[in-house]
Each structure stands twice: as C-alpha cells, then as structure tokens.
Amino acid sequence: MDAISQSLAGLPSFLLYFVLGLALITAFVAVYVRVTPYNEIALIREGNAAAAVSLSGALLGFVLPLASAIAHSIGPVDMIVWASIAFVVQIAVYFAVARVVPRFAEAIRAGRVSAATLLAAMSVAVGVLNAASMTY
C-alpha cells in the first residue's frame, strides 16, 4: 500500500463522523432556536448582536463536546449518545441563565450584549467542562 492509499484508508470513517457531526450541529441549532422564546435567526438578520453572541456561544458550547465525542467514541452510535448529552446540557445552560438573569429574553430582543455575553460565556465554559468529562 503506497503512502497516499494508506493516508486515505481512513476517509470513509472521516466522512461518516464529519457528516454525522454536521447533521447534529444542524439539529442542535434547529432545536435551540425553537426552545428559546425569541427567534435568533430573525434577530440576527435584523442586526441584533446580542442574538448573534448568544447563539454563537451556544453553538460553540455544543461543538466542543461534540468534537470530544467524535474523538473519544468507540463508534458512531456512541458518538451520537454523547453528542445528545451535550445537546441536552446546552439547552439546560440556556434555561439556567434565563432563570438567573431577570427578563433575559427581553434583553436579547433589545440587543443587550451584556446578557448575551454571559450566556455565551456560560455555554462555552460548560461546553469545555462537558468535553473534558467525555475523555473516558
């Protein structure tokens, strides 16, 4: 087997995990924007920086443990199980922050970046912890 063939031997696995990862990211964003009481995509299209910051933080907070699940899983089903846990954790982070910050949804709709930054930071922080916890 030449060097190129040997290098490309892992291509099918790469494609499987990459496509599954993209599908999970798409599913996460689709669900996340439905469970929040405001439409991040519409707000972002209107130029609302707070919506962009909060959604970006949640996305990063999900992708970090997703990457860990891909790197450490024993197979695609295992990866999906751990990605699902990361999914639920990120939704929980949103509800925890929204509960702690008075009128949180109103703040995002109004474009207050301070509230969005707190959510983004919490999402990424919990995502890093979640990812580290998946290194079994």
Q: Name the residue range of residue 108's domain.
A: 10-133
**Angle at which helices 76-100 and 11-35 cross, to 10°:** 30
Q: Is residue 1 part of a domain?
A: no
Q: Residue 52 and residue 28: Cα distance in Å, rounded?
A: 15
Q: Which amino acid is located at 44 in the chain?
A: I
How many percent of the chain have pLDDT more than 90?
A: 90
| Strongest mean pLDDT among 4-8, 64-68, 131-135 | 64-68
Strand segments, DSSP code E, in 29-119 are none
> What pLDDT was estimated at residue 7?
81
Q: Is residue 5 part of a domain?
A: no
Q: Is residue 35 part of a domain?
A: yes
**Average pLDDT in the chain:** 95
The pLDDT of 62-67, averaged and rounded, is 97
Query: Which residues, 6+ apart, have CB-to-CB distance to 62 below 8 Å?
Result: 25, 28, 86, 87, 90, 123, 127
The pLDDT of 80-98, averaged and rounded, is 96
Q: Residue 98 and residue 13: Cα distance in Å, rounded?
A: 39
Q: Is residue 2 part of a domain?
A: no
Q: Is residue 42 part of a domain?
A: yes
The pLDDT of 107-136, averaged and rounded, is 95
Q: Is residue 4 part of a domain?
A: no
Q: Residue 40 and residue 50: Cα distance in Å, rounded?
A: 9
Whether the per-residue pLDDT at 136 is higher than 70: the answer is no
Count of structural domains, the chain:
1
Whether the per-residue pLDDT at 100 is higher than 70: the answer is yes
Whether the per-residue pLDDT at 41 is higher than 90: the answer is yes
